[in-house]
Every structure is written in structure tokens, then in C-alpha cells.
A = this chain, B = another copy of it.
Amino acid sequence: MDETAPQKGTVTQRAIEQIKAFIAEGRLEPGERLPTERDLAVQLGISRSSMREAIRALTVLGVLEARHGSGIYVTQLEAGDLLETFGVVADLSRGPALVELLQVRRILESTATALAAARITPDQLAEVEKHLLAMNATDDPEEILAHDLAFHREIAAAAGNDTMAAILEGLSSRTFRARVWRGYQEEGAFERTRREHAAIHRALVSRDPEAARAAAAAHVGEVEEWLRAQLGV
């Protein structure tokens, strides 16, 4: 009567939970190398195929990292590693969920911008300014979008909360913004966007958190309202 496994769920799912538990309990440190797929499979009493599926699952979640020919390693478990999958949500959401995502972004982005106004360093401010100018100097939509993303990314980084920055990164993922912006900018919103970015920049220069919060909220809110109208909500 070997009372080892409760036999709940698929073996792969169990393997995923066990490896996660190993990490949560500190038996596997960030950056540490795991045993080989073959050894792990033997240890957990499952086939290599099932073990590979478990590893693949944890890989896409940003928990593990497989290096061909070298081995499997635990990631640093930092915000960027684990929240990378957040972009999938933004990419696959549609309809009302897009508005909800923008609402979340408005809340976080406004707070992040307010924090940045109080904490931003001259170097970081210069970087923000660089993207602001570059954005105004071109008419290529692709380039504008790239600098727009970088503009907000720098601000989020200056807020000093890597987790929040990683979430915002996901909420602003390239395909997500491309989908929304395509329609938004067709209505000649370029000039308005430039004005709003300038307002955010001014608030940062003035180190005025409240002005920064308001400017950022208004900026995202504009897009949010436009999208809401588009969907007829």
C-alpha cells in the first residue's frame, strides 16, 4: 500500500505544482540550476514527456528558463520575468474588456506619473524629454508609437516600483496599443496627444505630483472615452 500521491488532477499538473512549491519553499533559489529533465522525471515518478510539459508551462509563466544544451534554471523571479505574460491578456482581450484594461491603466499610470514627479532624477527627466522631442519631430506613425511607449516607460521606471512598471508595460503592449491607436489617431488625435504629453512633461519638470496625476489621468482617459464611444457603451 504505497500511500505516496493523492492522485488528483493530471500528473503534469501535479508536477507543475510540485516545482512551484519547491521554489516557494526556498528549496530552489532564483538563478539556480535544476536537475535534468530526465532526473526530474524519475524523481517525481513520471515520464519525461509529462515532465517536459510541466517545464514548458513554467517556462511560459516566466518562472523557469530552459537553455538548450545547458540546463534548466529558475529565473530571478523579478517583476519583469513573471509579469511578461500579462501582455497576453492585453493582446487577446476585446470589447468591453479593453475599456476595463484602459481604466486599470489610467489608475496605475496616473499614480505612477505622480510618483515620478516627486522622485524623477535629472537623468531620467532628460530621457523622458528625449522621447517627447523625438515624438514631435516625426510623422511616421510607427516611430511615434515607439517613442510614445518609451515616454511612458521611462516615467513608470522613475516611479520606483518595478512591479507597477511591469504591469503597465503589459497594459501598453505593442499589439494592444497598435490595435487601439490605429483608429484613435485616424481621427487626427496626433496634436491632442502631443499637447497631453507636453502637459505631463511640464508637471514632471515642476515636480508637481498632483498636476502630473491629473495630466496622466486625462491622457489615458481620452483614449478610454474614445474607445468607449467606439464600442457604443
Identify the A interface with B (CB < 8 A): 12, 16, 20, 23-24, 49, 52-53, 56-57, 59-61, 63, 77-79, 82-83, 85-86, 88-89, 91-94, 97, 100-101, 103-104, 107-108, 111, 161-164, 167, 175
Contact = CB atoms under 8 A, between A and B. Distances in A.
Copies held by the complex: 2
A24 B92 contact: yes
Contacts of A164: 100, 103-104, 107
Contacts of A20: 88, 91-92
A172 to B, nearest CB: 15
Given A60-B16, A85-B61, A104 B163 contact: yes
A19 to B, nearest CB: 11
Contacts of A103: 161, 163-164
Given A20-B92, A82-B93, A88-B20, A100 B53 contact: no
Main secondary structure of the interface of A (DSSP, over half): helix
Given A77-B94, A82-B88, A82-B93, 12 more contacts: A16-B60, A23-B92, A63-B88, A82-B89, A82-B92, A83-B89, A85-B85, A97-B162, A104-B108, A104-B161, A104-B163, A107-B111
Contacts of A86: 86
A77 B100 contact: no
B107 A92 contact: no
Contacts of A97: 77-79, 162-163
Contacts of A93: 77, 79, 82, 163
B82 A162 contact: no
Nearest 3 Cβ contacts at the A-B interface:
A100-B163, A57-B60, A53-B56
Contacts of A88: 20, 61, 63, 82
A38 to B, nearest CB: 15
Contacts of A175: 24
A213 B147 CA distance: 34
Contacts of A16: 60
